[in-house]
């Protein structure tokens, strides 16, 4: 006991009186060795958005006016890997689909249940995405996954869940800001229905070799209403409702999809920056 106190005191006193090496600034100024670690490179100038406006280099996907950046998705969401095996070889990154039928009113975009998920006309790979969404008050019998559901589905297959998770329990890896059935959010930062909520998402697409083997998995960071809820998590493969996912090689850029899950979820101020 006594010796351990002595050791602690000794370490403390050594630290307390340790001297940092003297720097001879006059001598160093002759060679200026600090310049070796100072880098100069053209850093792109981006004007930040003010209020609800997007940064100057963003692709604005919805600014409250129309659905000109969107169309009906080529495919809905497969429920299992058998579905992805069938879908992925048929995906066309330049697919020309029918006009999206969701409702635009009062500067907002509302899901029109039954018309299907919508997808961007443009294909994207690595992105920073901003989206604001709102869950309506649902009838009392609509609970859990039926209680105000949509999703931001990167590349048409990797879903960040959009769900009313304010006093609406469901499985943890299916709540708002989960990577659906893969990663539980670090916190539930949900606001009550009828409040606008924000997602800022960094999505890094999976990379495949020319032979189609996985080089690096998809990685996702999500900030929900200013709270970090997914911290660069690695995805196991496409979002599966049933079964265990795995990767199947696909094009490096594909459309971003918003999910029609039969609820009148609303969206506004959607923009994306390509990384
Ligand atoms: Mg969903």
Tens of pLDDT, residues 88-141: 999 998 999 999 999 999 999 999 999 999 999 999 999 999 999 999 999 999
Cβ distance 239 to 245 under 8 Å? yes
Task: Give the residue extent of every domain in the chain.
Answer: 59-274
**Global pTM value:** 0.91
Q: Given this model, what pLDDT does residue 188 score?
A: 98
Element (H, E) at 12: helix 2-17
How much distance in Å is there from the Cα of 263 to the middle of ligand 1?
A: 10
How much distance in Å is there from the Cα of 31 to the middle of ligand 1?
A: 60
How much distance in Å is there from the Cα of 229 to the middle of ligand 1?
A: 17
Q: Which residues contact 245 (CB under 8 A, 6 or more apart)?
A: 81, 84, 182, 235, 236, 237, 238, 239
How much distance in Å is there from the Cα of 247 to the middle of ligand 1?
A: 20
Q: Given this model, what pLDDT does residue 14 score?
A: 56
Separation between Cα atoms, residue 140 and residue 22, nearest integer Å: 72
How much distance in Å is there from the Cα of 159 to the middle of ligand 1?
A: 7
How much distance in Å is there from the Cα of 36 to the middle of ligand 1?
A: 51
Cβ distance 160 to 154 under 8 Å? yes
Separation between Cα atoms, residue 27 and residue 7, nearest integer Å: 39
How much distance in Å is there from the Cα of 235 to the middle of ligand 1?
A: 16
Cβ distance 199 to 129 under 8 Å? yes
Which of these, 151, 66, 76, lies nearest to 109 by C-alpha position? 66
Cβ distance 150 to 265 under 8 Å? yes
Q: In Å, how far are 44, 105, 243, 252 from 159, measured between CA atoms?
A: 30, 26, 15, 17
Query: What are the backbone angles phi and psi of residue 7, rounded to the nearest 5°?
Result: -65, -45
Q: Given this model, what pLDDT does residue 51 score?
A: 83
Cβ distance 196 to 158 under 8 Å? no
Q: Given this model, what pLDDT does residue 18 score?
A: 80
Separation between Cα atoms, residue 153 and residue 189, nearest integer Å: 20
How much distance in Å is there from the Cα of 77 to the middle of ligand 1?
A: 10
How much distance in Å is there from the Cα of 47 to the middle of ligand 1?
A: 33
How much distance in Å is there from the Cα of 41 to the middle of ligand 1?
A: 42
Cβ distance 166 to 138 under 8 Å? no
Residue stretches of the chain with pLDDT short of 70 = 1-17
How much distance in Å is there from the Cα of 151 to the middle of ligand 1?
A: 4
How much distance in Å is there from the Cα of 211 to the middle of ligand 1?
A: 32
Cβ distance 110 to 264 under 8 Å? yes
Q: Which residues contact 164 (CB under 8 A, 6 or more apart)?
A: 135, 138, 147, 148, 149, 176, 190, 193
Separation between Cα atoms, residue 221 and residue 16, nearest integer Å: 41
CB-count burial class (<10 Å; 0-12, 13-18, 19+) for 144: middle
How much distance in Å is there from the Cα of 54 to the middle of ligand 1?
A: 25
How much distance in Å is there from the Cα of 56 to the middle of ligand 1?
A: 30
How much distance in Å is there from the Cα of 150 to the middle of ligand 1?
A: 4
How much distance in Å is there from the Cα of 35 to the middle of ligand 1?
A: 52
How much distance in Å is there from the Cα of 17 to the middle of ligand 1?
A: 60
Q: Given this model, what pLDDT does residue 7 score?
A: 55
Q: What topology is assigned to 59-274 in CATH? A: Jelly Rolls (2.60.120)
How much distance in Å is there from the Cα of 198 to the middle of ligand 1?
A: 16
How much distance in Å is there from the Cα of 116 to the middle of ligand 1?
A: 13
Separation between Cα atoms, residue 253 and residue 251, nearest integer Å: 6
Separation between Cα atoms, residue 240 and residue 242, nearest integer Å: 5
**Total residue count of the chain as it appears in this document:** 275
């Amino acid at each position: 006991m006594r010796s351990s106190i002595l050791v602690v005191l000794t370490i403390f006193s050594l630290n307390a009186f340790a001297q940092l090496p003297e720097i001879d600034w006059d001598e160093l100024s002759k060679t200026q060795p600090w310049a070796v670690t100072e880098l100069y490179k053209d850093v792109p100038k981006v004007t930040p958005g003010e209020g609800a406006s997007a940064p100057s280099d963003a692709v604005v996907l919805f600014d409250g006016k129309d659905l000109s950046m969107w169309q009906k998705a080529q495919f809905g969401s497969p429920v299992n890997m058998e579905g992805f095996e069938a879908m992925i070889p048929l995906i066309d990154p330049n697919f020309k689909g029918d006009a999206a039928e969701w409702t635009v009113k009062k500067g907002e975009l509302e899901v029109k249940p039954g018309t299907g998920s919508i997808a961007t006309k443009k294909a994207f790979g690595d992105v920073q995405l901003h989206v604001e969404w709102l869950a309506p008050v649902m009838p009392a019998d609509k609970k859990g996954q039926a209680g105000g559901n949509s999703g931001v589905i990167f590349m048409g297959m990797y879903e960040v869940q959009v769900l009313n998770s304010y006093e609406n329990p469901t499985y943890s890896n299916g709540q708002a800001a989960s990577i659906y059935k893969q990663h539980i959010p670090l916190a539930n930062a949900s606001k009550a229905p009828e409040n606008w909520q924000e997602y800022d998402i960094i999505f890094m697409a999976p990379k495949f070799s020319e032979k189609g083997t996985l080089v690096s998995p998809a990685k996702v960071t999500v900030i929900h209403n200013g709270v970090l809820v997914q911290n660069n998590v690695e995805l196991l493969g496409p979002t599966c409702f049933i079964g265990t996912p795995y990767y199947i090689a696909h094009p490096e850029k594909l459309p971003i999809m918003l999910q029609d899950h039969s609820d009148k979820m609303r969206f506004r101020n959607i923009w994306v920056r390509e990384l």
